Amino acid sequence: MKLLSLRLHHIEMPLVSPFTTSFSTQTAKRTFLVEAQLETASGEVVTGWGENVALDSPVYSPEHLEGAAYVIEHWLAPMLFAAEDVTAETVGHILHKIIGNQMAKAAVEMAVLDAQLRAEGRSFASYLGAVRDTVPSGVSVGIQESVEATVGVIGGYIDQGYARIKLKIQPGADVAHVAAVRREFGDDLPFQVDANAAYTLVDAAHLRRLDEYGLLLIEQPLGEADIRQHAELAKLMHTPICLDESVVSAEAAADAIMLGAAAVINIKPGRVGGYLEARRIHDIARAHGIAVWCGGMLETGVGRAANAALAALPGFTLPGDISGSDRFYTEDITTEPIRMHDGVVDVPTGPGFGVEVDPDRLARFRTRLVDIPA
C-alpha cells in the first residue's frame, strides 16, 4: 500500500469525573487521532484511524502529547510517505532509525493497520487470532480524597457489574484504603492495586502489609527503570508483582521475566510501540507461563475497541482495564460507544477495529486539525 495522506485531529473530551493517579489528576482527555489514507495495489483508497495515548506532560513516560505530534509530523510521516510499500507489518522497520517514541509510532501503525484490515474486509480480532467473543471488563479507580470515598466509588462500580476493581495507590493512600475495601466487600472481590512507580525499595516493609488482603497483584510499585529492584521486592512479598511502565518492548518483557521481576505484565499497546509489539509480548509471556492483561490509557472508542480485540487472545487470563465508554465519557467519538454488560465487553467483529468515527462528534471535540503534506 502507498500512504497518500496523514491528518492529526487534536481533541479534548471532558471526563465524567476527575481521574487521579500518583503522578497527575486528569479532568479531560486531550489526545489526537491519526487519520491515514492509503492506496492499495488495486487502486482502492482506504482510510484508517489510530489513537495516540501520550499524556499532556512526560509524567507517565518520556513522551508527551505535543512531542508525539511533532515527531509524527516532522519525522515519522515523511519516512512513511517516502516508502514505496507501507503495511502494518513494515511500519516498525521503516521507522526503526527513530529511537524510542513508542506512542507516536504506535499511533501511526494503528492507523495503517485499521486501513489495511478494512481493505481486506477483515476484523482486527481475526487478524490477531482472538479466541473469545467477549472479554471481562475491569475498571480502574483513581485515588480518592478519603477512605470513605474510595469505598463509595468502588461500591458503585461493583453495582454496575464490573468483573474486577483496580485501585490507584500512593504513599498515604494505600493500606487503609485497601483494608476498608476488603472489609466492605469481602475477600472474593477480584481486587488489585496500581502504584504507578510511587514507591522505592525502602518501602518494602510497608508494601508487605498489602499481602494481608489477598490482592490479585500490585502493579508497578517501583520506578520504571528498576527491574532489578522489582525482582528483589518480589522475593519479599507474596502479592504478585505486575510491571507496567518498565515494559516498553518485547525485549524488556523477556528481561523482566528472566530476572523474576514480573509474575504478571500489563500490556498497553501505545506504551510498547503498537499492537504488533503487544502481541509479541503476549506470546513471550505465554511461553513462559506469565499472565498478561490489557491496560488502559483512557482511550476513546477507537482505542477501546482495539484493546478489546487484543484482550481476546488466549494469554490474557486476567481482566483488563476495558471498561465501557461511559466510565470516562458522557459521549464518545464513535457512532457506537463501547458498552459493558454482564461484566464483559463484546469484541468488535466489523472490518478494521470494528468502530466508526462520528464526524460530527469529532468536529465538536476537535481543538486543532493538522494536515501533514506528503
Paired residues of 242 in beta bridges: 219, 264
Write the pLDDT tens digit of every residue in 181-220. Answer: 999 999 999 999 999 999 999 999 999 999 999 999 999 9
Give the pLDDT confidence of 25-63 residue by residue, as tens digits: 999 999 999 999 999 999 999 999 999 999 999 999 999
Mean pLDDT of the chain: 97
| Integer CA distances (angstroms), 156 to 33, 160, 185, 372, in order | 31, 6, 12, 44
- The DSSP bridge partners found for residue 8 are 34, 370
Contact, 128 vs 307, CB < 8 A?
Answer: no
pLDDT single digits (tens) 110-155:
999 999 999 999 999 999 999 999 999 999 999 999 999 999 999 9
Percent of the chain whose predicted confidence (pLDDT) is above 70? 100
Continuous segment of H or E residues that includes residue 283? helix 275-287
DSSP letter, residue 2: E
Confidence of residue 159 (pLDDT cuts 50, 70, 90): very high
Question: Each residue of 231-251: pLDDT tens digit?
Answer: 999 999 999 999 999 999 999
pLDDT of residue 102: 98
Mean pLDDT of 257-266: 98
Q: Is 97 a catalytic residue?
A: no
For residue 230, which amino acid is it?
A: H
Single out the catalytic residue among 29, 105, 166, 268. 268
Q: What is the pLDDT of residue 208?
A: 98
pLDDT band at 23 (very low <50, low <70, confident <90, very high): confident
- Find, among 346, 349, 283, 340, the residue nearest to 315 by Cα: 283
Average pLDDT over every residue of 4-32:
94
**What does the pLDDT read at residue 24?**
85
pLDDT for 20 equals 92
Residue 304 confidence (pLDDT) above 90? yes
Over the stretch 104-117, which tens digit does the pLDDT of each residue have? 999 999 999 999 99
DSSP string, 27-61: EEEEEEEEEEEEE-TTS-EEEEEEE----SSTTSS
Which residue is catalytic, options 2, 29, 168, 235? Answer: 168
Output the pLDDT for position 57.
95
Is 168 part of the annotated catalytic residue set? yes
Q: Which grid cell is 66?
A: 505535543
Which residue's C-alpha cell is 492483561? 293
Q: What's the gap between Cα 177 and its chain centre?
A: 25
List the domains of the chain with CATH numbers.
2-121+356-372 (3.30.390.10), 126-346 (3.20.20.120)
pLDDT value at residue 22 = 85
